[in-house]
A and B are shown apart, each in its own frame.
Chain A
Amino acid sequence: MSAASLPQADARVSPEDFKQRSHESLHDAHLRQSFRGAMDFLVERRALQFPDLQAFNTLRKLGENVRQHALAQLPDLLERLEARLTELGVAVHWAETPADANRIFLDIARRHAATLMVKGKSMVSEEIGLNHEMAAHGVECIETDMGEYILQLDGDRPSHIIMPAIHKTKEDVAAIFHEHIDGAPLSDDVNELIAIGRRALREKFASAKIGVSGVNFMVAETGTLALVENEGNGRLCTSVPDVHVAITGLEKVVDRLEHVLPLYALLPKSATGQAVTTYLNLITGPRRAGEKDGPREMHLILLDNGRTQAYREARFRATLQCIRCGACMNHCPVYTRVGGLSYGTTYPGPIGAIISPHLMGLQSTRDLPTASSLCGACGDVCPVGIPIPDMLMKLREAGRHSVAESITPPAQALVGQGSVRRAGEVLAWRAWRVLYSHAALYRLFAWLAPRLRWLTPAWQGGWTASRAALKPAPRSLREQLARRRAGRTVPGR
Chain B
Amino acid sequence: MSGAAAEPRARAAIFARLRAAPDVEPVAVPDVAGYYRNRAAPSGESRRERFVRNARSWRAEVIETTAGDWPAALDAVLDARNVRRLLAGRGTTIADTLAARLPAGRLRWYDAPLASFKPELFGAIDAGITTTLGAVAETGSLLLWPDAAEPRTLSLVQPLHIAVLHESGLHETLFDAMVGQGWAARMPSNALLVTGPSKTADIQRMLVYGAHGPRELVILLLRDGDAA
Residues of A within 8 A of B26 (CB): 72
Chain A 286-316 per-residue mask, 1 if CB under 8 angstroms from chain B, else 0: 1110111110000000101000110110100
Whether B212 contacts A65 by the Cβ 8 Å rule is: no
Interface: B188 (CB within 8 A): yes
Chain A nearest CB from B138 CB (Å) reads: 8
Which of A165, A240, A292, A308 makes the CB contact (< 8 A) with B202?
A: A165
Residues of A within 8 A of B132 (CB): none
Known: A146-B211, A222-B187, A287-B189. A261 touches B32 (CB 8 A): yes
Known: A194-B211, A259-B30. A168 touches B195 (CB 8 A): no
Interface: A257 (CB within 8 A): yes
Chain B nearest CB from A84 CB (Å) reads: 10
Which of A41, A233, A286 makes the CB contact (< 8 A) with B212?
A: A233
Interface: A235 (CB within 8 A): yes
Interface: A281 (CB within 8 A): yes
Known: A41-B205, A262-B30, A262-B35. A240 touches B114 (CB 8 A): yes
Roughly how many angstroms separate A41 CA and B118 CA in the complex, as a whole number? 40
Question: Whose C-beta in chain A lies nearest to the C-beta of B33?
Answer: A258
Roughly how many angstroms separate A59 CA and B31 CA in the complex, as a whole number? 11
Question: Whose C-beta in chain A lies nearest to the C-beta of B29?
Answer: A69
Roughly how many angstroms separate A235 CA and B214 CA in the complex, as a whole number? 12
Whether B6 contacts A275 by the Cβ 8 Å rule is: no
Which of A69, A283, A411 makes the CB contact (< 8 A) with B28?
A: A69
Interface: B225 (CB within 8 A): no
Which of A69, A106, A308 makes the CB contact (< 8 A) with B14?
A: A308
Question: Whose C-beta in chain B lies nearest to the C-beta of A107?
Answer: B3
Residues of A within 8 A of B37 (CB): none
Whether A312 contacts B211 by the Cβ 8 Å rule is: no
> Which B residues between 56 and 90 are near A, CB-CB below 8 angstroms?
58
Whether A194 contacts B184 by the Cβ 8 Å rule is: no
Whether A107 contacts B4 by the Cβ 8 Å rule is: yes
Chain A nearest CB from B203 CB (Å) reads: 5
Decide if the interface of chain A is mainly helix, strand, loop or mixed. Answer: helix
Chain A nearest CB from B54 CB (Å) reads: 8
Roughly how many angstroms separate A279 CA and B201 CA in the complex, as a whole number? 15
Roughly how many angstroms separate A93 CA and B10 CA in the complex, as a whole number? 9
Chain A nearest CB from B110 CB (Å) reads: 7
Of the stretches A198-206, A337-345, A467-475, the one at the interface is A198-206
Which of A242, A277, A293, A311 makes the CB contact (< 8 A) with B195?
A: A277
Q: Looking at B3, B151, B174, which has the most chain A CB atoms within 10 Å of its CB?
A: B3
Known: A75-B15, A258-B184, A291-B148. A282 touches B192 (CB 8 A): yes
Roughly how many angstroms separate A165 CA and B201 CA in the complex, as a whole number? 10
Question: Whose C-beta in chain B lies nearest to the C-beta of A171?
Answer: B204
Interface: A164 (CB within 8 A): yes
Whether B199 contacts A261 by the Cβ 8 Å rule is: no
Whether A312 contacts B152 by the Cβ 8 Å rule is: no
Whether A145 contacts B190 by the Cβ 8 Å rule is: no
Residues of A within 8 A of B41 (CB): none
Residues of A within 8 A of B113 (CB): 292-293
Chain B nearest CB from A243 CB (Å) reads: 13
Which of B114, B151, B184, B196 makes the CB contact (< 8 A) with A256?
A: B184
Chain A 237-281 per-residue mask, 1 if CB under 8 angstroms from chain B, else 0: 001101000000010000011110110100000001001111111
Give the size of the chain B interface in residues (CB under 8 angstroms). Answer: 79
> Which B residues between 102 and 153 are near A, CB-CB below 8 angstroms?
110, 112-115, 117-119, 122, 139, 141, 146-148, 151-153
Chain A 76-102 per-residue mask, 1 if CB under 8 angstroms from chain B, else 0: 001100000000000001111000100
Interface: A236 (CB within 8 A): yes
Question: Whose C-beta in chain B lies nearest to the C-beta of A314?
Answer: B24
Chain A nearest CB from B127 CB (Å) reads: 15
Whether A292 contacts B151 by the Cβ 8 Å rule is: yes
Whether A170 contacts B204 by the Cβ 8 Å rule is: yes
Chain A nearest CB from B106 CB (Å) reads: 21
Question: Whose C-beta in chain A lies nearest to the C-beta of B136?
Answer: A276
Of the stretches A134-142, A224-232, A457-465, the one at the interface is A224-232
Roughly how many angstroms separate A169 CA and B203 CA in the complex, as a whole number? 7
Whether B118 contacts A206 by the Cβ 8 Å rule is: yes
Question: Whose C-beta in chain B lies nearest to the C-beta of A99?
Answer: B6
Whether B156 contacts A236 by the Cβ 8 Å rule is: yes
Residues of A within 8 A of B174 (CB): 261, 264
Residues of A within 8 A of B100 (CB): none
Whether B1 contacts A308 by the Cβ 8 Å rule is: no
Interface: A133 (CB within 8 A): no
Question: Whose C-beta in chain A lies nearest to the C-beta of B145?
Answer: A282
Residues of B within 8 A of A164 (CB): 202
Roughly how many angstroms separate A404 CA and B19 CA in the complex, as a whole number? 25
Residues of B within 8 A of A360 (CB): none
Chain B 174-207 per-residue mask, 1 if CB under 8 angstroms from chain A, else 0: 1100110001100111111111111111111110
Residues of B within 8 A of A312 (CB): 17, 20-22
Residues of A within 8 A of B141 (CB): 276
Interface: A127 (CB within 8 A): no
Residues of A within 8 A of B193 (CB): 276, 279-280, 282
Chain B nearest CB from A395 CB (Å) reads: 18
Chain A nearest CB from B225 CB (Å) reads: 29
Roughly how many angstroms separate A237 CA and B27 CA in the complex, as a whole number? 36
Whether B32 contacts A62 by the Cβ 8 Å rule is: yes
Can you name 14 A-B pairs with beta carbons within 8 Å? A59-B35, A66-B30, A74-B18, A78-B15, A170-B204, A191-B208, A221-B184, A223-B187, A235-B152, A239-B156, A281-B190, A291-B147, A291-B148, A312-B21
- Known A163-B201, A165-B203, A278-B213; 9 more pairs at CB < 8 Å: A65-B30, A190-B206, A221-B184, A239-B190, A278-B199, A280-B192, A284-B189, A304-B17, A311-B18
